[in-house]
Amino acid sequence: MLTKKEKRLIIGLRKNGRARVNAIAKENDLPVSSMADLLHKMEESKLLRHVTVPAYERLGFPIRMFITLKTPSEKRESLLEYFKASSNVNTIHHINTGHDFHVDCIFKNQKEAQDFIDDLEDSNSITEKHVFNLIDTIHHEQFMTDEHHFN
């Protein structure tokens, strides 16, 4: 179970990942030194990790696809290795409900995306595939930004 201080720190960082610990401490009437120590402790215990999320479209990668697929069980490991080797694959999730993987892919253009899909189908045993093009992100990273998330 998280302490009140841990919850406050998480909420502060989820609202603004670049927030300074002293600002979060001040906002919550907590000592800066204890918040800094708490942050360090939570990072060491892997409760928190810091990642960089690029603005892919602004960096020249405007095409983002989510691919959900199924493959015969004996082919799953080779398909997983195929995805791991691809420079266009951002995230791979192992999923259920009749599918095996949900893959987040990022591309420079539609041709590059289509070439990836074609190669994926030609190089692997895919029994079912659904491709979703991301059009717009409407709601992003809002979980654990409010006290009610911890109840």
CATH of the domain at 13: 1.10.10
- In this prediction the pTM is 0.83
- Residue 20 or 1, more confident: 20
Q: Residues 24, 12: contact at Cβ < 8 Å?
A: yes
Domain range for 106: 56-133
141 assigned to some structural domain: no
Residues 84 and 123 both lie in one domain: yes
pLDDT at 87 over 90: yes
Residues 62 and 83 both lie in one domain: yes
Residues 69 and 129 both lie in one domain: yes
Question: Using one digit for the tens of pLDDT, what is the confidence trace for 57-75?
Answer: 999 999 999 999 999 999 9
Here the CATH number for the domain that contains residue 109 is 3.30.70.920
Residues 74 and 109 both lie in one domain: yes
Residues 66 and 94 both lie in one domain: yes
- Stretch 32-49: mean pLDDT: 94
Question: Using one digit for the tens of pLDDT, what is the confidence trace for 113-133?
Answer: 999 999 999 999 999 999 999
Residues 61 and 28 both lie in one domain: no
Residues 47 and 105 both lie in one domain: no
Element (H, E) at 85: helix 76-85
pLDDT at 81 over 90: yes
Residues 75 and 127 both lie in one domain: yes
Element (H, E) at 103: strand 101-107
Residues 45 and 61 both lie in one domain: no
**Beta strand residue intervals within the chain, DSSP E:** 63-70, 89-94, 101-107, 128-133
pLDDT at 23 over 90: yes
pLDDT at 128: 96
- Residue 51 or 118, more confident: 118
Query: 11-25 burial, b if ≥16 CB within 10 A, otherwise e?
Result: bbbbeeeeeebeebb
Number of folded domains that form the chain: 2
- Residue 17 or 91, more confident: 91
| CA–CA gap between residue 71 and residue 11 (Å, rounded) | 40
| CA–CA gap between residue 81 and residue 67 (Å, rounded) | 16
Residues 63 and 129 both lie in one domain: yes
Q: How confident is the model at residue 53 (pLDDT cuts 50, 70, 90)?
A: confident
* Nearest Cα residue to 10 out of 151, 146, 148: 146
pLDDT > 90 in the chain, percent: 90
Residues 36 and 80 both lie in one domain: no
- Stretch 41-63: mean pLDDT: 94
| Domain's final residue, options 28, 51, 74 | 51
Residues 68 and 126 both lie in one domain: yes
